[in-house]
Amino acid sequence: MSASESYILALDQGTTSSRAIVFDHDGMIVASAQHEFTQHFPQPGWVEHDAREIWSTQSGVAQEAITRANVKARDIAAIGITNQRETTVVWDRETGAPVCRAIVWQDRRTAGICDRLRQAGRLELIRAKTGLMLDAYFSGTKLMWILDNVDGARKAARAGRLAFGTIDSWLIWNLTGGRCHVTDATNASRTLLYNIHTGDWDDELLEIFGVPRAMLPEVHDSSQLYGTTADGLFGSQIPIAGIAGDQQAATFGQACIYPGMAKNTYGTGCFMLLNTGTEAVPSNNKLLTTVACRYGGRTTYALEGSVFIGGAVVQWLRDGLGIIRSAKEVEQLAATVDDSGGLYLVPAFTGLGAPYWDPHARGTMVGITRGTTAGHIARAALESIVFQSAELLEAMQKDAGFKLKQLRVDGGASTNDLLMQFQADILGVTVQRPTVTETTALGAAYLAGLAVGYWDSPDDLANTWTVDKEFIPSMPEEQRLRRLAGWRKAVSRSLNWDSGDSQ
């Protein structure tokens, strides 16, 4: 079957929903399906998912997308997988059952473990090997917590009965009927257990976190044939040929494949990545050095800034405050006012990521007056996404040693014109939104397609990227700086809030 007669299926397993998208050879969407799943909050700062529900929803939407595309499984040339990163699953190799709920990347329960490791002088060694901050965000301390707090888990792990994986590994295990326990270098690089310079799990790190090597998946390139789907799952076997963590997949889908190119994804969180080529650039401004892609055995690196609460602040307006009924209403509500009226909302609901890395920060709203309305709150919520992203770009430009001329954007909130114009104004940089904004899924599709010869090379894919709309900065410099100063003042009120030092 020729490329023009076949398709690529991308599985986009996110923090709040599972999606599947069928792409054609032009990188255009043929059909898609999506299903939300349950968020569990058993204690303040804890966030969990049922891994079985993730598998159920993801396999369900995969079949639904194939059906909606009016094609058969035999028409799918390959499957690419992209996933919420750092979320940690541990399961029994014999039964396939998780030993507990998955601990989500947003979860802060292991902040104390990070504090103890920092006090033990482990910070610089961990940063040097992994490029990461010592933070509860990453998988290593989550896995450590499971082994220490789930009855019998450590004993079973030492006996080789338990498997660990991020969501990509969990999905592939189930897709292949338990035949493949694998991950790719982008996901491995987010665990605190993987040495980004040697390209392998690191024995010294495994000892620090108390993790048996037998639990870990094999680490592969982001684009290669890992296995095929189990008989009977989709009607015929489909090659699984691409894996990348969601932000690395979006970087690839945005065709930021050359050094100096950057993108920002507006999802549950916000994640900005700058391609640094084959050099793992260390950050002096509290950014992460991470694997952008491993293709053909060659590793490309990136600087990354992570915002924990991006689009999730809109969910909070809907589910927590009830001032909107759907996420789509937020732009309309925010447009009822000319500005935020001096209101700043710092959505540190699960601490703050880059450049603060404060797990003890908590959400703060300052500047409230009798004239504050729901419209002001909605506007301040949207602006918080912009301000957090602006701090990432500032840190990134300092580390990179040059000023970016443009930023490519994607993700759900990137379709909000009011938000994107404000982003361009606060950054002072042109913001470009592509024609296909589902770049996370598209990146996974590209990686899978390259592995099976559906597409020829990454350079060919870069030529298919097109701009839908550009947003040019128009805010006066004095106003831009004043707004940023107000934001930083508001952030200072949220820092170190639940550490026991606050009054």
Residue 91 CB partners (closer than 8 Å, separation 6+):
51, 97, 98, 99, 162, 163, 165, 170, 173
Q: What is the dihedral of CA 169, 173, 179, 183, to 10 degrees?
A: -10
Q: Which residues are annotated as a binding site for glycerol?
A: 85-86, 137, 246-247
Q: What is the DSSP letter of 81?
A: E
Q: Which residues are annotated as a binding site for ADP?
A: 15, 19, 268, 311, 412, 416
Q: What is the dihedral of CA 76, 79, 80, 85, to 10 degrees?
A: 140
Q: Which residue reads 């910070």 in tokens?
A: 123
Q: Which residues are annotated as a binding site for ATP?
A: 15-17, 268, 311, 315, 412
Residues in the chain: 503
- Cα–Cα distances (Å) from 176 to 21, 59, 172, 403, in that order, read 20, 12, 6, 45
Q: Which residue reads 């003890």 in tokens?
A: 360
Given a contact cutoff of 8 angstroms between Cβ atoms, the answer to whether 170 and 207 are in contact is: no
Q: What is the DSSP letter of 369?
A: -
Q: What is the C-alpha to C-alpha distance for residues 278 and 313, in angstroms, rounded to an integer?
A: 35
SS3 500: coil
Q: Which residues are annotated as a binding site?
A: 15-17, 19, 85-86, 137, 246-247, 268, 311, 315, 412, 416
Q: Which residues are annotated as a binding site for sn-glycerol 3-phosphate?
A: 15, 85-86, 137, 246
Given a contact cutoff of 8 angstroms between Cβ atoms, the answer to whether 104 and 95 are in contact is: no
**Phi/psi at 467 (nearest 5 deg)?**
-85, 130
